């Protein structure tokens, strides 16, 4: 047996041993609004992810387990072969005559049976895997009841957009819903914004959207929203960031250098974040002409103050280094992030020059003008002009001339 065949054989064995089982189900959840006595169809697919011969059992569990049944699979056991990618099953949920208000959760669980299934009561020591599709029935609360969550995201026009999805979970419609959002930075309230008022029918889902044109400093902020709906209130909170936690390499200098000695790199780092960034450090790499790393050195750790510049120092032992131009990278590490800047070092007998540490500022592409819209507008404008000219001037003039002739 040659080496290649042996490797393939070993790989096959590894895969065969490592993969025990895999199972899928889709959709993973079904949501129904309560209708007393109604029968709801639940169609789902069991996915034989590994395309193996296997036996499966389907169980129901949860509050409504006795109300969920299969017509086609009364025993809840089925088999799939390696040729079967998936099996489509249909269950029925027969809703009871009454249920208490709120959510009611049940599940349809599909378990892969270990080994060959021979009948109930058989035990096995093998590990097995199962997947569950959730069946949720929601009964409206009496009166008015609102469910909401608060999301904050960067707005495309700048600033922050707060999106509050709201669902009316009560039996009664809600006439007035609005959000008042207080914004805090370091526990100090910096702004308050209010949404427009909307109304929501029972069972309806809508979104409250509030845009905040923030001109505040980058940093972490907290939004505390009070949702006022008719006579009730709901409180929500969300932390969000303005800008990114960014440290920027501004300048690199090497003073008092002589080749073969220790080069002291002074790197000026600017924080664009409004809070202290702790334990930041930089790593500097110098590459030889073959692109291999010939020097790898780090600075100590620094606490970089908000919106200030900090000088970081790193040392490079240039013993054995020859004069020349070397590619180099500085990697700034902070707060589980890293940012890299590449430049060149021109090393001579008494000097290291840093080449190419600058910025390319590209013009941001704006939205394109819709040429079709322009053509349409022009054509319609010409048509309007022709019509106006005809009906207001030319037609009257010709009509007038005719009268004069008469």
List interacting residues with another protein (CB under 8 A). 17-29, 47, 49-50, 107, 109, 111, 125-134, 156, 161, 163, 165, 205-209, 367-368, 370, 372-373, 376, 379-380, 383, 386-387, 390-391, 395, 398-399, 401-402
Closer CB to another protein, residue 46 or residue 345? 46
> How far apart are the C-alpha atoms of 241 and 221, rounded to whole Å?
6
DSSP 182-223: EEEETTEEEEEEEPPPEEE-TT-EEEEEEEE---PPSEEEEE
- Provide the minimum distance between the beta carbon of 14 and another protein in the complex, in angstroms, as a whole number: 10
Closer CB to another protein, residue 92 or residue 398? 398
How many Å from the N-terminal Cα to the C-terminal Cα in the chain? 115
- Spatial CA neighbour of 227 closest among 239, 237, 241, 212: 237
Closer CB to another protein, residue 193 or residue 280? 193
Q: What are phi and psi of 38, to 5 degrees?
A: -75, 150
- Provide the minimum distance between the beta carbon of 395 and another protein in the complex, in angstroms, as a whole number: 6
Closer CB to another protein, residue 229 or residue 265? 229
- Provide the minimum distance between the beta carbon of 247 and another protein in the complex, in angstroms, as a whole number: 28
Structure-block tokens of residue 324? 């020349």
Q: What residues contact 301, with CB distance under 8 A and at least 6 apart?
A: 279, 280, 281
**Cα dihedral sign, 155-157-160-164:** negative
Q: What residues contact 335, with CB distance under 8 A and at least 6 apart?
A: 245, 277, 278, 280
- Provide the minimum distance between the beta carbon of 171 and another protein in the complex, in angstroms, as a whole number: 23
> How far apart are the C-alpha atoms of 189 and 239, rounded to whole Å?
13
Helix (H) or strand (E) holding 210: strand 205-212
- Provide the minimum distance between the beta carbon of 65 and another protein in the complex, in angstroms, as a whole number: 15
Structure-block tokens of residue 136? 């949720």
> How far apart are the C-alpha atoms of 267 and 281, rounded to whole Å?
11
- Provide the minimum distance between the beta carbon of 13 and another protein in the complex, in angstroms, as a whole number: 12
Structure-block tokens of residue 52? 């193996």
- Provide the minimum distance between the beta carbon of 42 and another protein in the complex, in angstroms, as a whole number: 13
DSSP 254-278: E-S--TTSEEEEEEEEEE-SSS-EE
Closer CB to another protein, residue 127 or residue 300? 127
Q: What is the CA radius of gyration of the chain?
A: 35
Closer CB to another protein, residue 201 or residue 313? 201
In the block, which residue shows the tokens 């054995």? Answer: 320
Closer CB to another protein, residue 164 or residue 282? 164
- Provide the minimum distance between the beta carbon of 99 and another protein in the complex, in angstroms, as a whole number: 19
Classify residue 384 by burial, with Cβ atoms within 10 Å: 0-12, 13-18, 19+.
Answer: exposed
Closer CB to another protein, residue 301 or residue 387? 387
- Provide the minimum distance between the beta carbon of 177 and another protein in the complex, in angstroms, as a whole number: 13
Classify residue 395 by burial, with Cβ atoms within 10 Å: 0-12, 13-18, 19+.
Answer: exposed
Closer CB to another protein, residue 276 or residue 384? 384
């Amino acid at each position: 047996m040659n080496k290649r065949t042996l490797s393939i054989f070993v790989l096959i064995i590894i895969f065969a041993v490592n993969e025990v089982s895999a199972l899928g189900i889709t959709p993973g959840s079904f949501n129904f609004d309560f209708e007393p006595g109604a029968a709801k169809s639940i169609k789902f697919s069991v996915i034989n992810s590994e395309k193996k011969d296997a036996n499966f059992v389907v169980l129901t569990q949860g509050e409504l387990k006795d109300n969920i049944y299969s017509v086609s699979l009364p025993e809840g056991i089925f088999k799939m072969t390696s040729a079967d990618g998936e099996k489509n099953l249909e269950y029925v949920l027969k809703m009871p005559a009454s249920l208490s208000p709120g959510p009611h959760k049940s599940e349809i669980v599909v378990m892969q049976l270990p080994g060959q299934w021979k009948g109930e009561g058989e035990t096995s020591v093998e590990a097995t895997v199962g997947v569950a599709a959730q069946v949720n029935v929601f009964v409206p609360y009496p009166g008015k009841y609102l469910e909401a969550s608060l999301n904050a995201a960067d707005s495309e026009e700048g600033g922050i957009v707060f999106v509050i999805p709201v669902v009316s979970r009560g039996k009664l419609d809600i006439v007035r819903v609005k959000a008042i959002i207080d914004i805090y930075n370091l526990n100090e309230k910096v702004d308050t914004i209010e949404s427009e008022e909307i109304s929501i029918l029972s069972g309806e889902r809508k979104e409250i959207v509030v845009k905040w044109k923030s001109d505040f400093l980058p940093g972490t902020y907290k939004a505390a929203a009070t949702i006022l709906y008719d006579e009730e209130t709901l409180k929500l909170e969300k932390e969000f960031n303005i800008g990114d936690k960014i440290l920027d390499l501004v300048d690199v200098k090497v003073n008092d250098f002589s080749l073969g000695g220790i080069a002291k790199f002074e790197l000026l780092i600017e924080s664009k974040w409004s809070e202290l960034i702790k334990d930041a450090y930089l790593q500097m790499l110098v590459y030889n002409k073959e692109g291999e790393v010939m020097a790898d050195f780090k600075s100590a750790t620094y606490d970089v103050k908000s919106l200030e510049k900090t000088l970081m120092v790193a040392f490079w032992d240039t013993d054995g280094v020859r004069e020349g131009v070397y590619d180099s990278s500085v990697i700034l590490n902070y707060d589980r992030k890293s940012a890299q800047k590449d430049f060149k070092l021109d090393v001579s007998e008494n000097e290291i020059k840093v080449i190419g540490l600058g910025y390319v500022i590209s013009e941001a592409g704006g939205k394109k003008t819709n040429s079709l819209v322009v053509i349409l507008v022009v054509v319609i404008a010409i048509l309007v002009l022709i019509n106006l000219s005809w009906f207001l001037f030319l037609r009257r003039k010709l009509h007038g001339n005719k009268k004069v002739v008469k």
